[in-house]
Amino acid sequence: MSSPLPDFVHLHNHTEYSLLDGMTRITGEKDSPSALLVELAKQGAKGVAITDHGNLYGAIEFYLRCRKAGLKPIIGCEMYMAKGSRKDRSGSQKDNRHITVLARNFEGYQNLMALSSKAFLEGFYYDARIDRELLAEHSKGLVVLSGCLKGELAQTLLAGDMQGALRLAAEYRDLLEKDCFFLEIMDHGLQAQKQALKGVLEIHEKTKIPLVATNDNHYALKADALAHDAHLCISTGRLLTDAARLRFDSHEFYFKSPQEMAKTFHFSPESLSNTVRIAQMCNLEIPMDKLHLPDFPVPEGFTQDTYLE
């Protein structure tokens, strides 16, 4: 008799809208859900998230295809966090840190859209960036995960600054609504991840901020890793034979089964159950039966129509 599947929801996923980086398809033939979404629904997944790099281009398509497949859509974004102010234009692209942001409800979705828009309009420097001031201004209705190896928390830990990482975790926890910040843990077999993980577990012990396990998926199947490698070459204008090019140092960035995730994070079953907890927190309903147009302020004496004319 087979054992039941562990409860687990993938909360950190890059689709084809993480341009020339993610390869996961949303839509199949004739506007049907992709094979991956259909398979996740068959497995009884309680939901799945979209968290593309810095944008929400695929949000509505993903929302509709998930609904069609019988999956709960969780709309999010892996946002770029500026080192200081989003308005500062100094430093390099390597200073831009990642953070995973999910919408719990329609207010959260509106705040997610505001963050993404302002990241492009106010914060663009190599990437569309936000900062903590902007996140605090638009924090309602959001769940935030601390991010991958390129996240601010992981990089602080890798620099050997445990006290700084503890302060940072507490700042994010207090900036957001209650119980809406989680320490994100991953394991693709990378040595730097193992080093950062030790620090994250120590922060969890000291602060009681909950853990959540993700896999930072960039493609659907493990067999897609080589195609993804070629994808990165196209993105960066390099050849597969170039030893110094950008590449992923692991073939583990695929949609792992709940059993695989449970085996990887056997030491922290709560990090798996917290994925379900977050999925249950996220109940976004986007009214699709009416227009949602932004309200642009216009000079006195004008309506929006007359000012446009």
**Residues in the chain, how many?**
309
User: Are the beta carbons of 248 and 256 closer than 8 angstroms?
Assistant: no
Specify the DSSP element, H or E, that contains 145: strand 142-145
pLDDT of residue 244: 85
pLDDT of residue 295: 80
Assign 3-state DSSP to the chain and report helix, strand, coil percentages, each to 5.
40, 15, 45
pLDDT of residue 4: 54
194 pLDDT above the threshold of 90: yes
Enter the tokens of residue 270: 């709560």
245 pLDDT above the threshold of 90: no
Provide the sign of the torsion angle of the four alpha carbons 141, 128, 220, 25, taken in this order. Answer: positive
What dihedral angle (degrees, nearest 10) is formed by the CA atoms of 117, 228, 23, 9? -90
Of 167-171, 174-178, 195-199, 296-300, least confident by mean pLDDT is 296-300
pTM of model > 0.95: no
Average pLDDT, the chain: 94
Spatial CB neighbours of 167, under 8 Å, sequence gap ≥ 6: none
292 pLDDT above the threshold of 90: no
Distance CA 35, CA 29 (A): 10
* Burial category of 30 from C-beta neighbours within 10 Å (exposed 0-12, middle 13-18, buried 19 and up): exposed
Question: Residue 254: beta bridge partners?
Answer: 219
Q: What angle do CA 29, 32, 16 make, to 5 degrees?
A: 75
* Burial category of 22 from C-beta neighbours within 10 Å (exposed 0-12, middle 13-18, buried 19 and up): buried
Report, as an integer, the average pLDDT of 89-108: 96
pLDDT of residue 228: 93
Give residue limits of the domains in the chain: 29-308
- What is the Rg, in whole angstroms, of the alpha carbon atoms belonging to the chain? 20
Kind of pairing between the strands at 97-103 and 73-81: antiparallel
291 pLDDT above the threshold of 90: no
Q: Which fold has domain 29-308?
A: TIM Barrel (3.20.20)
Query: Which is nearest to 44 in space by CA: 104, 4, 76?
Result: 4
* Burial category of 195 from C-beta neighbours within 10 Å (exposed 0-12, middle 13-18, buried 19 and up): middle
